[in-house]
Amino acid sequence: MAKMIIAGEHRDASDGGTSEIRNPATGEIVDRVAAGTQEDVDRAIDAAEAAFKKWSAVPPPKRAEILFTAAHTLKDREKELARLLTLEQGKPLREAILEIRRFTHTLEHYAGLAKTIRGGYVPALDDRRYGMIIKKPIGVCGSIVPWNFPVSLLGNKIGPALITGNTVVVKPAGHSSGPDSPRSGVAAGRAQYCSWTWTDRRRIAADGSAGTQDRFHGRDLDR
């Protein structure tokens, strides 16, 4: 059974709840996944907040090394991960392979941008005054990935967040193309994630339905 990954540990849901993952082509049960609760969400956020101080202090080039290593690991497991993506989400195997490759390319792209993370200088604001631009991580980011491109769009969210020193809590889509399939995104190579229903965060990145976007519109995302 696929479990949530919180603070580096594989966890069941706090109430033991699970959801079935079915192959959308055959209806066959592929796996089961832990169905996260609000308690699990809080644990994931607390773990990400605890990790933030240390991760944000890691120099960008070192963060880049970690992302490059992750990308290389994904390349080594490309066929295995693509097969999982096809079974749970339904796209042809060829497209699943391309999606895994897009994800690895995205991680490498943002890792390559590490050297561009720098501030700025604004001269002559006034007599004997100047301005300095200092870029800092913002904290814990929430990432909600859609069912149709769960792996490649996951890279679009965690890549820029991690390379700039933020920590991330990832939520897979609440449904996929098959019945009862909230596991989309798990095939991304064991990235830390938690299935949740709602939480407040400093930054939320989401794709998908208008309903998902509406849930966040106008809300105060500071905890």
CATH of the domain at 76: 3.40.605.10
Q: Is residue 222 part of a domain?
A: no
The reply to whether 221 falls in a domain is no
Residue 28 within a domain: yes
Give the tokens for residue 203. Answer: 């930054």
Any domain includes 223:
no
What are the φ/ψ torsions at residue 179 (nearest 5 degrees)? -65, 140
Q: Is residue 96 one of the residues assigned to a domain?
A: yes
Selected residue with higher pLDDT from 31 and 209? 31
112 vs 147, residue with greater confidence: 112
DSSP state of 114: G
Q: Is residue 130 situated within a structural domain?
A: yes
* pLDDT tens digits, one per residue of 49-96: 999 999 999 999 999 999 999 999 999 999 999 999 999 888 999 999
Domain that holds residue 37: 4-216
Tell me the sheet residues that pair with 49.
none
Number of domains in the chain: 1
Residue 149 per-residue DSSP state: S
**Does a structural domain hold residue 161?**
yes
Within a domain: 110 = yes
CA distance 78 to 97: 7
* Per-chain mean pLDDT for the chain: 80
Section 21-36 average pLDDT: 90
The reported pTM is 0.78
Tally the C-alpha atoms within 13 A of residue 47's C-alpha that lie toward its C-beta: 20
